[in-house]
Chain A
Amino acid sequence: MTRTLLGAMLALCCSTAARAQNPEPKKETCVACHEVMPDGPLADPVKAFGQDIHSAKGFGCAACHGGDGTDASMGAMDPKKGFVGKPRHQQIPVMCGHCHSDAQFMKRYNPALRVDEVAEYVTSVHGKRLAQFDDQKVATCTSCHPAHSIRPPSDPKSSVHPLNVSKTCGACHAKADYMASYGIPTNQLEKYEQSVHWKAISVRHDLSAPTCNDCHGNHGAAPPGISWVGNTCGQCHSVMADNFAKSRHAVVFPQMGIPGCAACHNNHDIQATSDTMLGLGDGAVCVNCHTEGSPGSAEAVAMRRGIDSLRMDLDSARGLLERAKNAGVEVSQAQFDLEGAHNALVSSRAAIHTFNVATVDTAVGLGRTITAAAFVRGQAALGELRFRRTGLAVFALIIVVLIAALLLKIRELEPHTHDHTDA
């Protein structure tokens, strides 16, 4: 089968060599006939091709389909002129790779574009099944980059724009009947769309958040194995990955056949983390392996206790300073300094991945020192506020008494004036 693939590559290389060197920006004769055909597989490609990146770059039909685009007769589609028509499934990566694997050629159009797509593809599960079994259902180039309407990944309408990648993969992987013969789950898309990563992309429009290809690769798509799932997550979550790599769990998990990060965070339906995941209570993931009373569970509880104490101290100090600030007392320096405790809390949560109580306690201790100082400053600020309010109340009382005294004096004077007038 590999020979067949190589043969197809050779044939396509010969057929497309001429146009690769000289793309034809002018209208080809193919369009004149195909655009007036009834809607269907012979006309639709011509109508869609106007929006294709290749069309914008000046390529025409013959660039992929071969033949003679200048010949207005049926002779244009002579196999002797390199015409291949609709390429077979196995021919597609070869056809696209003819240009896309040629670094020198691609530089003329996009110097930053990778040229290892086909090299990666043959290492993918898709590429291997295509080469070994001539599997007609596996993805090739045009499964993800729809032929005749290919847009660059930066285009929001592109099938490979970060917002659309999961739908593109899901077009096959979420179809239970289509995937039945492969015996793999088909709920990945459904789970992914409940994940914190999908929310980051779809709600916060954070296009750097991962979608399918960021963990599985795109052209070299394959499921991350147990041994390197941490490396996958560690592309972004490097501090946690480093901490985990130095931990006892990094040794034990592979022995037990447990996938690193996914053991606690799952894989496709990764949720936002919370402190409740740590310890033995509701929502805790430690209990999946550690039974209550075991040394591991005691360490989990100790780490949780430390983090809870810092979080509560931080909330308390923040609340105190916020009350003082809202009451008009200047506490911006204390609030500024308290940010260090927030740093410590975030760092202590990252330190959980060392699974070492002492490491977590170090970060917690630093944070609690800062919160204690902030708490004292907050209490002093509220003490000052109380003093000012008391002073104001006394002042207001004096004014009221003074007004009352003035009124009484006026009333006392009025009869005397009246009597004097009468007299």
Chain B
Amino acid sequence: MADSFSTKPTPRRKFLDWLLGTSVGGLAAAVLYPATRYLIPPRAGESSAATVTLPLKPDDIAVNTGQIFKFGNRAGLLIRTSNNELKAFSATCTHLGCIVRYRPDLGEIWCACHNGHFDLNGRNVSGPPPAPLEDFTVNVRGDQIVVGKRT
């Protein structure tokens, strides 16, 4: 009876041993996994931000002017048209990726690199750009201008 007590662990002790063993493993995993993920982060793609609140107030942009803004790590172009309408587009030219700007004298978006022209709907109307500019939504919420990608 005494022999069997000293050589055969009871089910309760086995359970405690298992519980402690797995807990240590879990603890180690809980510490090491986030540390490893931090040290080897996943490759980040393009900014997935769908909207951006501009550091501008609606009154800051005059009629028939344009303003470049930061959208993730790319450039956007906000325009207040001569009809007092706010419009926003990607400012990256679809030809070779230069930054476009608004030309008040033409009422068009213009790329200085190769003289590409886009109308105020973002359509490529002259010069070498092969495609329209991506257009964004513009919402004015009080004193804030929120620009977003179209879904």
Interface positions of A (Cβ within 8 A of B): 200, 204, 206, 208-209, 236-240, 325-328, 331-333, 335-336, 339-340, 342-343, 346-347, 350, 389, 392, 396, 399, 403
Which residues of chain B come closer than 8 Å to A332, judged between CB atoms?
A: 47, 70, 72-73
Asked if B1 is at the interface (CB within 8 A of a chain A CB), the reply is no
The answer to whether B99 and A340 have CB atoms under 8 Å apart is: yes
B94-106 vs A: 1/0 string, CB under 8 Å? 0011110000000
Cα–Cα distance between A206 and B70 once the two chains are bound (Å): 28
Can you name 13 A-B residue pairings with CB atoms under 8 Å?
A236-B128, A325-B73, A332-B70, A333-B70, A336-B74, A339-B74, A339-B75, A342-B97, A343-B98, A346-B97, A346-B98, A347-B112, A350-B114
Nearest 3 interchain pairs by C-beta? A335-B73, A206-B130, A332-B73
Which residues of chain B come closer than 8 Å to A336, judged between CB atoms?
A: 70, 73-75
Cα–Cα distance between A143 and B90 once the two chains are bound (Å): 44
Q: Which of B98, B112, B127 contacts A342 (CB 8 A)?
A: B98
Which residues of chain A come closer than 8 Å to B43, judged between CB atoms?
A: 326
- Chain B residue at smallest Cβ distance from A236: B128
The answer to whether B113 and A346 have CB atoms under 8 Å apart is: yes
B66-110 vs A: 1/0 string, CB under 8 Å? 000010111100000000000000001000111100000000000
- Chain A residue at smallest Cβ distance from B75: A339
The answer to whether A328 and B72 have CB atoms under 8 Å apart is: no
Which residues of chain A come closer than 8 Å to B96, judged between CB atoms?
A: 346
Cα–Cα distance between A308 and B14 once the two chains are bound (Å): 71
Q: Which of A209, A239, A240, A343 contacts B130 (CB 8 A)?
A: A209
Cα–Cα distance between A237 and B73 once the two chains are bound (Å): 29
The answer to whether B113 and A239 have CB atoms under 8 Å apart is: yes
- Chain A residue at smallest Cβ distance from B113: A346
Known: A237-B128, A332-B70. A343 touches B99 (CB 8 A): yes
Which residues of chain A come closer than 8 Å to B38, judged between CB atoms?
A: 328, 392
Asked if B115 is at the interface (CB within 8 A of a chain A CB), the reply is yes
The answer to whether B130 and A200 have CB atoms under 8 Å apart is: yes
Asked if B16 is at the interface (CB within 8 A of a chain A CB), the reply is no
Which residues of chain A come closer than 8 Å to B19, judged between CB atoms?
A: none
B14-45 vs A: 1/0 string, CB under 8 Å? 00000000000001000100010011010110
Q: Which of B35, B41, B44, B124 contacts A208 (CB 8 A)?
A: B124
Which residues of chain B come closer than 8 Å to A209, judged between CB atoms?
A: 130
Which residues of chain B come closer than 8 Å to A328, judged between CB atoms?
A: 38, 41, 44
The answer to whether A396 and B35 have CB atoms under 8 Å apart is: yes
